[in-house]
Amino acid sequence: MRAIRFDATRRADTVDIPEPELQAGQAIVRISSAGICGSDLSALNGSHPFRIPPLISGHEGGGTIVAVDDEESALRVGDHVVIEPQRSCGACEACDAGLSHLCEHKLMLGMSEWPGTFAELVTVPTDKLYRVSTAVPTEYLALAEPLAVAIHAVHRVGTGQPQKVAVLGGGAIGSLIVLTLAHEGVEFIAATDIRESNRELCLAMGAQAVADPVADGWKESLRSSAGGSFDVVFVAAAVAGIVDDANDLVRQRGTIVQVGLFGAPVTFDLSSFQRNEKHLLGSNVYEPADFEAAVRMLEADPEGVARIVNRRATLEQATEYLNARMDGHVDDTVKMLLFPNQS
């Protein structure tokens, strides 16, 4: 079968590899769509902490079951499924506390030990597959994973409906946070991004106001539109000063949710958090309940979720794109979907 292999020289290649072997408790999924994430780029350039080439990358994906070996599973050949791409150890402190998504020993799809979705076929434990209605176009199945990231971030706020929320960073995850907030009926949603196209995307997802975070007076403009400071601010990007921007926008005893992944330590005005009794929450991937919620939302609004997709590719085209990114090419891609079984 065909796949994209990352090597240790920061290059990607479309290659032929053996088909995976079916083992007990697993299914083989023919991948209909896979998504390219920033972590894939980090793996390719050698900066990712645990995705170390050579490997078959890709952790966003879904498709059709072509074989299954699990008598206790209700899954059958022909089912459309999405993949929850994490397998925890089941024995560590996090797993014992019911926080398997925080397991320090978990195995992620797209590592060398578990070849990922940048391939025609993958093997997946049946308990990591979620059946999806056939009404959802199979090209959208890969979108459940980033949607689960957004849903988990929103769920981190806990009980009580915030009325005014800002999302800093309007890329794939940020715009999906906007969509999730809109689905949950939040009264006022604002979003920021340096790209006009991403600001327009956030408006289409349900934001009532957007701003360019490098424009003069943007914070005052957002506060004016909202009628005051924000109850919750989601940080969905990882750029210098963005946590302080969130701190400036959130009200006293308000909540900041950190979603964007920084590659190095950051500094921010901690004393302001303390003086104003603000809350800072981390959000890391998703729990099974978030993934289940993502499947239901994808079924309810597939076209809405798919607004983040602005580029599509075959394996060969995706290989060219990945290598171009390693060569310094920059573009306006929000989410690229690749289709391993198309040519």
Closest to 89 in 3D by CA, of 108, 110, 76: 108
pLDDT score, position 229? 97
Q: What is the pLDDT of residue 153?
A: 98
Asked whether the predicted pLDDT for residue 49 surpasses 90, the reply is: no
CB-based contacts of 215: which residues, under 8 Å, 6+ apart? none
CATH 3.40.50.720 placement within the chain: 157-282
Q: How far is the C-alpha of 51 from the C-alpha of 4, rounded, in Å?
A: 14
Which element (helix H / strand E) includes 13? strand 12-16
Other Cβ atoms within 10 Å of 147 Cβ, number: 30
Predicted pLDDT at 162: 81
Exposure class string for 51-76: b at 16+ Cβ within 10 A, else e: bebebbbbbbbbbbbeebebeebebe
159: pLDDT confidence band, cut at 50, 70 and 90? low
74-83, 264-273, 315-324: segment of lowest average pLDDT: 264-273
Q: What CATH number is given for 2-147+286-338 in this structure? A: 3.90.180.10
CATH of 157-282, one of 3.40.50.720, 3.20.20.80, 3.90.1170.50, 1.10.3720.10: 3.40.50.720
Instruction: Assess whether pLDDT exceeds 80 at residue 161.
Output: no
243 Cα distance to chain centroid: 20
Q: pLDDT over 90 for what percent of the chain?
A: 95
- Angle at CA 122, nearest 5°, toward 73 and 24? 40
Closest CA to 338 of 326, 319, 285: 319
Token pair of 249 as six digits:
């926008």
The CATH 3.90.180.10 portion of the chain extends over 2-147+286-338
- Cβ pair 252, 272 in contact under 8 A: no
Looking up tokens 């798919």 gives: 306
Q: How many other CB atoms sit within 10 Å of the CB of residue 173?
A: 27
Report pLDDT digits (tens) over 215-267.
999 999 999 999 999 999 999 999 999 999 999 999 999 999 999 999 889 99
Tell me the average pLDDT across 74-101: 97
pLDDT digits (tens, 9 = 90+) for 271-292: 999 999 999 999 999 999 999 9
Average pLDDT of the residues of the chain: 96
Distance CA 214, CA 212 (A): 6
Structure tokens at 305: 């979720």
